[in-house]
Amino acid sequence: MYTYKTSVKLHDTDMAGFLFFSHQFKIAHDAYEDFMEAVGLGFGRIIHNSEFLLPIVHAEADYKAVLGVGDRLSIQLKAEKLGKTSFTLAYDLVGLDGKTVGSVRTVHVCVDNKKKEKMPLPDKLRKALKTIS
């Protein structure tokens, strides 16, 4: 598991002061980007210099509690499934009290940057994902 810490920002909320529904995906994606950077696979490098891309082909979220500005969160990231050409990530958003306040799942497919066709997960990526499975 990989843990990313953050808090709900004002720009993440709606007019009622609660986390806007689509921003739960943004917070999860921030954790994903942080993990990828930590394992030497930052997205700047992937997008500009690699043979592969990792588009999200499915995403879902569940909301389990109201979140407002300033609420502190730990996002616990796990690789839930590793396939030949794809992987599924599971994110639990956990409040300071240890309760899960939301969850996100994303499915990513590895695509050849030039051919735009599926390709096997690169070894470095597979090894990095196994550390959080």
Residues 43-65: pLDDT tens digits?
999 999 999 999 999 999 999 99
The beta-carbon contacts of 16-24 under 8 Å, at least 24 apart in sequence, are 17/68, 17/69, 18/66, 18/67, 18/68, 19/63, 19/66, 19/67, 19/68, 19/71, 21/61, 21/63, 24/61, 24/63, 24/93, 24/102, 24/104
pLDDT for res 33: 97
pLDDT for res 102: 96
Nearest-10 Cα torsion for 48, 125, 108, 45: -10
pLDDT for res 91: 98
Q: How confident is the model at residue 8 (pLDDT cuts 50, 70, 90)?
A: very high
Structural domains for the chain: 2-130 (3.10.129.10)
The model scores a pTM over 0.85: yes
